[in-house]
Structure 1
Amino acid sequence: MNDLFPKIMLSRSDGIIDLAWGHPSDNLHPLYELQPAIDAIFMNNEISALQYSGYQGYGPLIGSLSQYLSEDKSYTRIIKPEELYIGYGASHGLDLACTLFTGEGNTVLVEEPSYYLVRQILIDHRLNIVGVPTDSEGMKIENLEQIIDSYRGNVKLLYLIPSFHNPMGSVMSLTRRNEIIQLAKKHDFLIAADEAYHLLYYGDPPPPTMATLDDSNTGHVASLGSFSKILAPGIKLGWIQASPDLVDKFTNSGSNFSGGNNNFAGAIVDIAIRKGILAKHVNHLKSTYKSRMEIMSTALKTRIPDAEFSMPQGGYYFWIKFPQGIDAIVLEKLALDQGVTLRPGVAFSGQNLFSNCIRLCFALSDIEDITEGINRLGQAYDKYISG
């Protein structure tokens, strides 16, 4: 692995305020809230939870998740059990999509900027990664069409983050979503939509997931959901929402036949949904994250007036643009000297773009640390511009 990444996914140093990593706070993990769900497995003698799973995943969870998603106002229609496949999370879903729908040398399109850790998955599959310019509504359709045409049928996969984008925090418009789905149908490629933040909206819900909008029988969209952001990353469980035909292809994968998925975690999450534990926890996360988001916005406006950003309406992130000529790599080093971390914009680009941008995460730190973290970032920025 690249030296940029620590030996464990999150390594925190004393005295350092971490605004870089896109992780939930430890104190928000529902450890005690999940205890009744875990106890119920043993009290009800749920031996099936310790067995291999069915090909589509833990059966009861498929049913409870179907109902949970259907009842959320962001989905706008009934999500049927046959539209769901239980996996290990959004990254696993993308990896599986690459295995099933691409081959070495095929082209995969990604947003510029995009989630930086996803590139390694695509590189592992020996894919040709091509960035597509974006605006506040998502991928620019004119640029997308030109790029698709230039690769003459070699585009097999398009990866995007339509709701509360990582790193931009933006939401793709309904019109743009439908336009991209029509292009996928026309050119016969798969859209892998990373919907990990879709349920974390702090005001009006985003447009429906990409798979909810895909009305084709064969399906051209796999929406990748995850319990990592709405329950706990250690659960290591997620889902793929897609047409029944596409779900069949995921269930018929070799790795799925040889062992299936995490039945025990599936049983825990199923009970958490049925007992209302998940819904209550998601509401708590929304309230907490909204407060942190508002505090970070106020602190940025007050302490660093040069910081240009749009207020996110969900997810984890602020995407900050500084004046031209500011080098975020240099700012990152100065910020660390002041005791705060950030993620430079170039990390999210395959073309070394966004050198004057940074991503900040408001999910990991509490309100006091966010306020102090932005103050420290302001001190670093003051040092930068003063020379």
Structure 2
Amino acid sequence: MNDLFPKIMLSRSDGVIDLAWGHPSDNLHPLNDLKPAIDAIFTNQEISALQYSGYQGYGPLIESLSQYLSEEKSYTKTINPEELYIGYGASHGLDLACTLFTGEGNTVLVEEPSYYLVRQILIDHRLNIVGVPTDSEGMQIENLEQIIESLKGDVKLLYLIPSFHNPMGSVMSLERREKIIELAKEHDFLIAADEAYHLLYYGDPPPPTMATLDNSSTGCVVSLGSFSKILAPGIKLGWVQSKPNLVDKFTNSGSNFSGGNNNFAGAIVDIAIRKGILSKHVTRLKNTYKSRMEIMSAALKTHIPDAEFLMPQGGYYFWIKFPEEIDAMALEKLALNEGVTLRPGVAFSGQSLFPNYIRLCFALSDIEDISEGIHRLAQAYYKYVSG
């Protein structure tokens, strides 16, 4: 087989423990659990699964997802089918939002730090990217207000990750969510909320999604959900939650007119929801990831007491601060020599901020590798400190 065309995005070197990539664990993919769902499509002669989809997505999935989210305690209200659009994932939803609601040269606000791969989507749309300072509760409202005023109405889009932030692992408070929605209504911009980790909470649920909190009549929020983190990224499906009039804009976008979205994957996920496969799998993920998170926290405290971090309550990530004199990019090279990878903090900033921060992912590796990975990171850290 030609290695120039790999099967998957992530390629790991033998003997190297990967704490850098924000990918789900291979050994948690629900291959056996999904087999009955796939078999049911053929047993029931579900021919529609092999046909072009409706513009809003696979109809039965829209209905089953509506019920699933309505029964999920972190949503707190009924989510109607008219409030959902089925797409290819959170990044696809953001890309479509940029196409539908922004134009070249418009300004988009993002958190500092923010998900590093989203920046290319914004660059592709030739948007002016402006960072907003954050703290443990999300965007700092006073700074956000000052930036909006200074831009004199040019803001068209605000991108944020309110629940179990990437990279910070933090949860935006309910008060700040509501205040940002009020600012969006006042200044007429759209909020694109990346809620890919919203359902992966390991204690109390986070506040409701931004779209759930949107109390405007015509809508100022699109919440971007994804099955990549709660089922499998290879399914390549997600959803947009918003007011029906905004969902209509996604439904009527040009890319849909050539055949809609992935009906076959939609049929699989629909059956997975109706048979309880998804719910069971999410519970398994939450239990497993919580254990891995606790192991990583304990290992960091034991082996690298200089590492400062807030304990995440969900998601995938630790956001770790080292003393100011530490250069995380130099530490990354030493860590790789020790056989462990990490993601330097500057990768998450458009302004080269956070030079002494790193992000570690606890989702991809098992408990033994996490413990050994932190041990290797500690060896690299103390080599760096000792010069």
The aligned counterpart of 1:279 is 279
The aligned counterpart of 1:16 is 16
The aligned counterpart of 2:248 is 248
1:41-69 deviations in whole A, cap 9, x for unaligned? 01111101111111110000000000000
The aligned counterpart of 2:91 is 91
Cα RMSD of the aligned pairs, angstroms, is: 0.9
The aligned counterpart of 1:210 is 210
1:188-213 deviations in whole A, cap 9, x for unaligned? 11100000000000000000000000
The aligned counterpart of 2:257 is 257
Q: CA separation in 2, counterparts of 1:16 and 1:308? A: 24
1:318-340 deviations in whole A, cap 9, x for unaligned? 00000111000000000000000
Secondary structure, aligned partner of 1:300: helix
| Paired amino acid for 1:213 | L
The aligned counterpart of 1:349 is 349
| Paired amino acid for 1:95 | D
The aligned counterpart of 2:113 is 113
* Equivalence map 1:299-314=2 (5 Å): 299-314=299-314
1:7-53 deviations in whole A, cap 9, x for unaligned? 96311000000000000111100001000000000111110111111
Query: 8 Å contact 1:217–1:245 — kept in the other structure?
Result: no
The aligned counterpart of 2:35 is 35
**What is the deviation of 1:140?**
0.6
Q: CA separation in 2, counterparts of 1:214 and 1:294? A: 34
Secondary structure, aligned partner of 1:33: helix
**What is the deviation of 1:154?**
1.1
* Equivalence map 1:162-173=2 (5 Å): 162-173=162-173
Q: CA separation in 2, counterparts of 1:239 and 1:101? A: 17
Q: CA separation in 1, counterparts of 2:241 and 2:86? A: 9
The 4+ residue runs of structure 1 with deviation greater than 6 A are none
The aligned counterpart of 1:201 is 201
Q: CA separation in 2, counterparts of 1:9 and 1:307? A: 30
Query: 8 Å contact 1:224–1:238 — kept in the other structure?
Result: yes
1:270-316 deviations in whole A, cap 9, x for unaligned? 00000000000000000000000000000000000000000000000
The aligned counterpart of 1:3 is none
Given the two structures, how large is their TM-score scaled by the length of structure 2?
0.98
* Equivalence map 1:1-387=2 (5 Å): 9-387=9-387
Q: CA separation in 2, counterparts of 1:337 and 1:13? A: 12
| Paired amino acid for 1:216 | S
Query: 8 Å contact 1:192–1:222 — kept in the other structure?
Result: yes
User: Percentage identity across aligned positions?
Assistant: 87
Query: 8 Å contact 1:168–1:319 — kept in the other structure?
Result: yes
Given the two structures, how large is their TM-score scaled by the length of structure 1?
0.98
Distance 1:8 1:282, change over 3 A: closer
| Paired amino acid for 1:221 | V
Q: CA separation in 1, counterparts of 2:115 and 2:96? A: 18
Q: CA separation in 2, counterparts of 1:358 and 1:350? A: 15
Gaps of 5+ in 2: 1-5
Alignment coverage as a number of residue pairs: 382
Distance 1:226 1:153, change over 3 A: same
Query: 8 Å contact 1:292–1:370 — kept in the other structure?
Result: yes
Q: CA separation in 1, counterparts of 2:9 and 2:334? A: 23
| Paired amino acid for 2:202 | Y
Gaps of 5+ in 1: 1-5
Distance 1:84 1:277, change over 3 A: same
Q: CA separation in 2, counterparts of 1:101 and 1:149? A: 20
Q: CA separation in 2, counterparts of 1:212 and 1:160? A: 15
Distance 1:7 1:130, change over 3 A: farther
Q: CA separation in 2, counterparts of 1:256 and 1:181? A: 29
The aligned counterpart of 2:3 is none
Q: CA separation in 1, counterparts of 2:96 and 2:315? A: 24
**What is the deviation of 1:149?**
1.1
